[in-house]
Amino acid sequence: MSKNVRSQMRLALKADRLIDGTGMDAVLNGVIVIENGRIAEVTTKEALQFAPGEEVDVIEVSGGSIMPGFIEMHSHIHCSAEEDAYTHIMTETDEVFLMRAVNAVRAALSSGVTTMRDLGARNQVAFPIKQAIEDGIIPGPRMIMAGTPITTTGGHCNMFGTEANTADEVVQAVRQQFKLGAGYIKIMSTGGGFTPNTNTRAPQYPASTLKAAVQDAERLGLRVAAHCHATEGVRNCAEAGIHNLIHCSWLAEDEAQMYDYDTDVTEMIVEKGLWVDPTLALGHLNRMRGRATGGSGMSDPQRRFEILRDMWDRGVKFVTGMDSGMTNARFDDFAYIPQVMVEEMDITPMEAIVCSTKTSAECLGLEDEIGTLEVGKAADVVIVNGDPATDITALHSVNTIVAQGNVVKRDGILAI
């Protein structure tokens, strides 16, 4: 969000309750005071005090809940999210991709997403968009960019731009993305449903190659996210210490078997402290919007959610990615992620909120900056109508948005 339009006046956000993102119970009559883009005070209406004559901008939402801004962990900002998204990717120019990306980041911010990780956009789109947001040229969330994902020749999303086959080539690709400004590395460990004939049920890289990517990324202060559908690909990622496993679909090599869930690998994920982004809302949106699902492994959603619940019960840390930009996954759809976690995985609304805020911030390595409402952290705050701790669908009704101290939406009216 623009660094040039931040109000110099202190801003006070008031609502019936405050959910700080830590998992603690909501504070009644909560107040957040914002100054110079930072949280200056976390208090209550009863305890709030201002100096005599001090001018303070106050936004109060009756019946609302203050909470941290949403963190969207998996987007493709140059993709259309339409039925023919693949055709668009194969035929459109970089100039059109840039225009799509401008609309995408604005839509995300307008829905309450204050931090967004893009895990696969062409370099010539991703990094200029990030710079334009930081320079205040266009509105958008804080962006964590991977740029083009690393894939094999002809592999999943090869049309995005970075193909590498050997461990040495993969390391070279990691360094190139770092040079361009990547804040996270994305690698395709298996085939994917978006790219025809790349085989979701087989790995693209052995664990040793993935490990080489992790080691070099860590040397550069970066973490690695890996797309993985096939169980063998999930296993390779866990063995390699991939920081964030994407999809984690547990697809069996034999399509007739559908899933091949391995609890030993789940225990390895927990032991190593890795994060999983199950992109679990994507299948829900496809079904809701009338599109059959197949290659992602969501053709048996009940078993899929049983597996995810078992992973949760074993201690896997889930983060909230939509895969936005893929067919039916729009950039303002974030609230469906925690909703599906509650409705289909049967976790509590507060647990889903923590995944959407604190846990996702930790996966990004930004827990000291965002994810919870604490003094000194960036003022990324939303106020939703209602109480999401009892009704998770309240996250669909965002009344007010503050991103890095800038008021983006106020009383339901956008300011961007």
- For residue 130, the model assigns a pLDDT of 98
- Is residue 130, in this structure, part of any structural domain at all? yes
pTM of the complete model beyond 0.85: yes
pLDDT value at 2 more than 80: no
Q: How many domains does the chain have?
A: 2
Bridge partners (DSSP) of residue 378 are 38
Any domain includes 2: no
> Which domain covers residue 61, as residue numbers?
10-69+372-414
pLDDT tens across 142-192, in order? 999 999 999 999 999 888 889 999 999 999 999 999 999 999 999 999 999
Q: What is the secondary structure of 210-252 as a DSSP string?
A: HHHHHHHHHHTT--EEEEEEEHHHHHHHHHHT-SEEEEEEEE-
Q: Same domain, yes or no, for 94 and 236?
A: yes
Q: What is the CATH number of the domain that holds 32?
A: 2.30.40.10
Radius of gyration, alpha carbons of the chain: 21
On whether both 241 and 387 belong to a single domain, the answer is: no
Kindly give the pairing relationship between strand 244-251 and strand 56-68: unpaired
pLDDT score of 402 = 99
> 359 and 381 share a domain?
no
Among the listed ranges 25-34, 39-48, 136-145, 279-288, which one has the minimum average pLDDT value? 279-288
* 16 and 61 co-located in one domain: yes
Are residues 323 and 76 in contact, defined by beta-carbon separation less than 8 angstroms?
yes
Same domain, 117 and 153: yes
- Going by pLDDT thresholds of 50, 70 and 90, the confidence category of residue 22 is very high
pLDDT tens digits along 263-315: 999 999 999 999 999 999 988 898 888 765 544 445 688 999 999 999 999 99
What does the pLDDT read at residue 87? 93
In-domain check, residue 227: yes
Residues 62 and 74 in one domain: no
Instruction: Tell me, yes or no, whether 290 and 250 share the same domain.
Output: yes
pLDDT band at 53 (very low <50, low <70, confident <90, very high): confident
Taking the C-alpha atoms of residue 402 and residue 408, their distance in angstroms, rounded to an integer, is: 6
The residue type of 213 is: A
CATH for 135: 3.20.20.140
Lowest mean pLDDT among 23-27, 216-220, 297-301, 332-336: 297-301
Looking at per-residue pLDDT, the higher value among 288 and 376 belongs to: 376
Encoded tokens for 286:
């496809």
Considering the domain architecture, whether residues 236 and 250 belong to the same structural domain is answered as: yes
The per-residue pLDDT for range 58-82, each reduced to its tens digit, is 999 999 999 999 999 999 999 999 9
Between CA 361 and CA 6 the distance in angstroms is 23
The tokens for 335 are 């609230």
The yes-or-no verdict on residue 230 having pLDDT over 80 is: yes
Question: Are 302 and 409 within one domain?
Answer: no
Q: What is the pLDDT of residue 48?
A: 96
Among 364, 381, 405, residue at a domain's last position: 364
**Tens-place pLDDT, residues 123-155:** 999 999 999 999 999 999 999 999 999 999 999
Asked whether residue 284 is assigned to any structural domain, the reply reads yes
Asked whether the beta carbons of 381 and 68 are under 8 A apart, the reply is yes
In terms of domains, do 254 and 398 share one?
Answer: no
Q: What is the pLDDT of residues 338-355, one digit of tens each?
A: 999 999 999 999 999 999
Do 58 and 89 lie in one domain? The reply is no
Residue 283: its pLDDT value, please?
85
The last residue of one of the domains, among 345, 364, 383, is 364
Does residue 92 form part of some domain? yes
Residue 5 in any domain: the answer is no
| Same domain membership, residue 80 and residue 47 | no
Q: Looking at this protein, which amino acid is placed at residue 91? A: T
Kindly state whether residue 305 falls inside one of the protein's structural domains: yes
Which of 300, 194, 187, 181 lies closest to 252 in space, CA to CA?
A: 300
Residue 135 lies in a domain: yes
Q: Are 188 and 233 in contact (CB under 8 A)?
A: no
293-307 as b/e: b if 16+ CB within 10 A: bebbbbeebeebbeb
